[in-house]
Each structure stands twice: as structure tokens, then as C-alpha cells.
Amino acid sequence: MERHPRKLGDRAAAVIPPGTKLISLGLDSDVIDWFGSQGAGYQTRIKSVLRVFMEHEQRKKPAV
């Protein structure tokens, strides 16, 4: 069973960020269902995918 999305998952790694904020975030049901079907730790995988995307976008353009 694959644990991460094919395109981003290979680069997603457990990272301890400088700080963590608890928020309420609405996500599409099918997205939650898919990540949840991958097994325990799905919230950590969602965080990892978001971090990979953020870092990719930061490399594309300089911070303002």
C-alpha cells in the first residue's frame, strides 16, 4: 500500500517545524477519505504534502 501521493509523497518527509498552530480547516471529503484510507498518520502526511508544496512555491519566486 502506497503511503503518500505519487508526485509529492516521495519528497514529503517528517519535518518538525519551528512552531505548530492548531487550526480548523475545511477540506474536501474525498481528500480526507483518501488520506485516511492510507492508514494511521494521515494528518502528518497532509502536513508534509502542504510543506513540500510551500517549499516548491518559495523556490519559484523570491519572498516579497
Q: pTM above 0.75?
A: no
The answer to whether position 60 is within a domain reads yes
- The predicted pLDDT at position 25 comes to 94
- The predicted pLDDT at position 1 comes to 43
The answer to whether position 19 is within a domain reads no
The answer to whether position 18 is within a domain reads no
**Going by C-beta distance under 8 Å and a sequence separation of 6 or more, which residues neighbour residue 6?**
none
pLDDT (tens digit, 9 = 90+) per residue, 16-33? Answer: 567 888 889 999 999 999
Residue 22 CA to residue 3 CA, distance in Å, equals 24
pLDDT (tens digit, 9 = 90+) per residue, 31-59? Answer: 999 999 999 999 999 999 999 999 999 99
The answer to whether position 17 is within a domain reads no
**Domain residues for 30?**
1-12+25-64
The answer to whether position 20 is within a domain reads no
What domain count does the chain have?
1
Q: Are 52 and 12 in contact (CB under 8 A)?
A: yes
